[in-house]
Amino acid sequence: MLGYFNNHYHGYAPENCLDVLEMLGITTPNQEQMHEQLRTGQARPVARATTLTEFANLEVSSDEIEKMLLEFTDARWLERARQIKDVEILKEEPDLLAADVGGYSIYMDYNGRFILHDCQDWERGTARRRMCKHVAALLLSLPPEKSRVLLDLIKAQKWDFRPYTG
């Protein structure tokens, strides 16, 4: 079955989608909660942030990324990561990112929820999920919005840090 909504005015489409899911009796508890919040005006769909100022507020600064990185590495590694300039993205797809950083390989799998990398510092830190300077450098080199999404996922989904043995 397919559903189709063309209803962007004031961002009511999410609410309408939830209406239909409820009619079909297939809502999850999360969706029910969101539905209730939308109905009572406690939450508005994100789609309402349409002015330039509101968009600017959604932007992420590189300072913010560095702060997030410090949850996975320390200030010393972060400083070393800043010095690394040879970051080459080899492959970028919706569910994976492959890069060459300072002569080492990094592979991020968004579906498998793991990161592969082949330096010794990384290997030593995998059990504690610590990032080495190469992985930190890769995340610093990406557009901050993308890095933030990745770092949020790595943290929330507890991605596995694995040595790259391929």
Is residue 148 a contact point for Zn ion (CB under 5 A)? Answer: no
Give the shortest CB-124-to-Zn ion separation in angstroms: 10
Give the shortest CB-134-to-Zn ion separation in angstroms: 3
Give the shortest CB-127-to-Zn ion separation in angstroms: 15
Is residue 97 a contact point for Zn ion (CB under 5 A)? Answer: no
- Containing H/E element for 56? helix 52-58
**Helix %, strand %, coil % of the chain (to 5):** 50, 15, 35
Count of residues engaged in binding Zn ion, rule: CB under 5 A: 4
Which of the residues 109 through 138 are near Zn ion (CB under 5 A)?
119, 122, 132, 134
Question: Length of the chain in residues, anyone?
Answer: 166
Is residue 81 a contact point for Zn ion (CB under 5 A)? Answer: no
**26 three-class SS:** coil
Q: Which residue has the tokens 């509101």?
A: 54
Please give the Cα distance from 56 to 22 (Å, whole number): 35
Contact positions vs Zn ion (CB under 5 A): 119, 122, 132, 134
